Structure 1
Amino acid sequence: MPEPTSLASWTRALRKQLDALGLDSAELCRQAGLDPQWMDDPNARYPLKATTRLWELAVEASGDPAIGLRVSRFVSPTTFHALGYALVASGSLREVFERIVRYHQVVSDALTLQLSREHGRYLFRLQLPEGSVPPAPEAIDAFIAIYVRTCRNRLGRDYAPLAVALTRPEPPDPTPWHSVLRAPIQFGAEENRLEFSCADFDCHLDDANPELAEHNEKVLNRTLEVLQPLTWERRVRQTIEVQLPEGVPSADKIAQALHLSLRSLQRHLADEGCRYDSLLDECRQNLALQHLRDASSSLSEISYLLGFADTSSFNRAFKRWTGLSPGQYRDSLV
């Protein structure tokens, strides 16, 4: 697998933190094997190994193991380019995090993100792709702090998640983590996770701008097409989307469309850590979220486009995915 990368401009926030401490951030970048000038190129990307080394040097030079938490104050919408503006224009926190999940690879492909509604709360997970080297724990701290700060920018500075889980061992002094996140924290957890109130996530944000969000999503989709290799997973997803209006396609039908045997298709997907039934379910869920944002599409039309036999079947599936009915989800976007 190719080495994960991240936007070079994202590392500028760490440089600003180092500069604020009176440290030579440019020299630390060079020691880590990073060209500081790349940060001015909106499309440049740094390899994970080098950025991890920069975090190690940053902790060593600053003497601050919590430096990742402090980087969030130097992050603005322009840090993440089109994604930043799409998040600012989102109509709810749920919509914010749905977009983070969908487009996070534009910022970094070192992690896989997942948002789900379970046990009366939203769970936002930062997962490591199978066989990948984990990012620096300080990088995870930085992303967690940025996500919490994003919530505070929309709901008020006193906002806090319900709970936080971090895989990093508990530090000798956990005070900075509690001060920044202001939530119960489980260190040494099995996964990195944020937990949020459903009421907070589903409430409408007054400064939403659907047109601006849609424009920036087009930019993000073009960027993803460039970044993502044409894997078998992508080929299967694209073929599923084409065939869904004709009914739910079987794995055998998709294999035929790709000029493969069923066994070859299953082997290709298994090699990439995927299963056909999971991809089919994810495709239908993602398309449902997109179609429901189009007020001109009726629920019966969306049911047809997603291959459901009737609207009630679509309602049951959507509630399984999100905890809401399609109507409730659409109402929350208004």
Structure 2
Amino acid sequence: MMNAASISHLIEPGINAGYVRSLLDYLKELGLSPEQVWRWIPELGPKPDLGPRAGQRAGPGSELRYDNGQEWVKARFLNELYSRASEWLDDPHIGLRFGHRASAASFRMVGFLAASAPDLLSALKSVLHYQSLYSRVGKMVLRQQENYLSLCWDAIWPRQWMAYPAVEASIAGWHHLGLNMLGHRIKASRITFRHKNRGQLAVYESVFDCPVFFECEHDAIYLNPEDLECPMPQYDPTVHEALLEKSDRLLAIHDGEPIVDRVEQVLAVQGRGCLMSIEEVADTLSLQVGELRRMLKRSQLGYRTLCDRAKFRETLDFLDAQSVDFTDIALQLGFSEQSVFTRAFRRWTDMSPSAYRNKLGPVLSILG
């Protein structure tokens, strides 16, 4: 059981619990009972209802924790759920079909922000700027070339540890939401996935209504650049501005991006293999230290928490390599010795590095 002061919900990548509730409802329709799910993944909570509803707090023993007033389920549990459900139901298309049911409500406030935007470009910017309110498992990134536009899903949780139905659900969800918001006036030119095809190509192309390719560089939706100007039929300036204002209260913005994202980008690149001070990060972002602290406080996250997140994600690169011992990992991360790293890891996850690696083992074997 986790202690009351646990910060693991802030450190480990996760997804809004509302998403998992919807997934469990869908799996129940397919014949998979909540009781069976909890036999597989008891860490999610003591009862087969994924804990409390809105306005309630998670009870003792539950893995649900709050951040910015929201509940989060850790990525490792989400991926194990998708993998076990796909195997148990003998259905390789679970994620694809679940994602295709998506609506604006499925993506919480981010979905309504996109739906109320004036045009597709504004909708995409809403998704890119505020998606951390909904998911920290992966994020959508807009990449524009001369002849095409791609909306790519970039994993935060290691991509090789992602259950393929979870990735397909994300791509199918954003694809379906976009087409519905635009009244099906545009269509994707193609869909690509990084993993191998585990299902039937005809099913994928029927769902997406375009060519689908596997073992590609990105998990992505490809659109025509001219579609960016397509007006949104549900555009509502009053609703959109109100949601933007509410989102900005939760995520302090710096140079067009949430400050948390900017800090994490610096730590991920310049902070690898070392421990960066807040003064160094502030200087990189051309901010005063006091200003950076105030912006992080608005986001309800401290600098140490972001450093812990960055170091935890860096640690994940080594955990599936059994040949790398923890002394080597500690030194490569910039810790002075293994004991310091072990204490930090316990603070991040409520367990030792070896226990965490052992927990991941069965899950990774399912994913393989």
- Mapping of 1:29-178 within 5 angstroms? 29=38, 31-32=40-41, 33-35=43-45, 36-38=49-51, 40-41=53-54, 43-129=70-156, 134-157=161-184, 159-178=186-205
| Match among 12, 17, 21 for residue 21 of structure 2 | 12
The structure-2 alpha-carbon separation of the partners of 1:100 and 1:26, relative to structure 1 and needing over 3 Å to count, comes to: farther
The structure-2 alpha-carbon separation of the partners of 1:214 and 1:23, relative to structure 1 and needing over 3 Å to count, comes to: same
Shift of 1:256: 8.2
Equivalent pairs: percent with the same residue?
A: 20
The structure-2 alpha-carbon separation of the partners of 1:29 and 1:95, relative to structure 1 and needing over 3 Å to count, comes to: farther
State the distance in 2 between where 1:125 and 1:27 align. 34
Contact 1:89–1:213 (CA<8 Å) still a contact in 2?
Answer: yes
Which deviates the most, 32-41 or 76-85?
A: 32-41
State the distance in 1 between where 2:31 and 2:159 align. 34
1:6 aligned counterpart, secondary structure: strand
Shift of 1:159: 4.5
State the distance in 1 between where 2:287 and 2:250 align. 30
How many residues align structurally? 249
State the distance in 2 between where 1:60 and 1:199 align. 41
- Mapping of 1:290-309 within 5 angstroms? none
Unpaired segments ≥5 residues, structure 1: 237-250, 260-267, 274-334
Shift of 1:78: 2.7
Q: Which residue does the alignment assign to 1:258?
A: 289
Structure with more helix by fraction: 1
The structure-2 alpha-carbon separation of the partners of 1:39 and 1:201, relative to structure 1 and needing over 3 Å to count, comes to: farther
Shift of 1:31: 2.3
Shift of 1:179: 1.1
Contact 1:9–1:39 (CA<8 Å) still a contact in 2?
Answer: no
The structure-2 alpha-carbon separation of the partners of 1:64 and 1:94, relative to structure 1 and needing over 3 Å to count, comes to: same
Shift of 1:127: 1.4
Contact 1:86–1:217 (CA<8 Å) still a contact in 2?
Answer: yes
Q: Give the letter for the 2:170 counterpart.
A: F
Unpaired segments ≥5 residues, structure 2: 1-9, 56-69, 253-257, 267-281, 291-305, 312-368
The structure-2 alpha-carbon separation of the partners of 1:31 and 1:201, relative to structure 1 and needing over 3 Å to count, comes to: same
State the distance in 2 between where 1:73 and 1:13 align. 13
Deviation by residue 1:222-264 (Cα, 9 ceiling, x = unmatched): 4446xx996882798xxxxxxxxxxxxxx969668339xxxxx
State the distance in 2 between where 1:81 and 1:153 align. 16
- Higher relative contact order (CA closer than 8 Å, sequence separation 6+): 2
Which deviates the most, 174-183 or 197-206?
A: 197-206
Q: Which residue does the alignment assign to 1:190?
A: 217
Aligned CA-pair RMSD: 3.4
TM-score by length of 2: 0.59
Q: Which residue does the alignment assign to 2:360?
A: none
TM-score by length of 1: 0.64
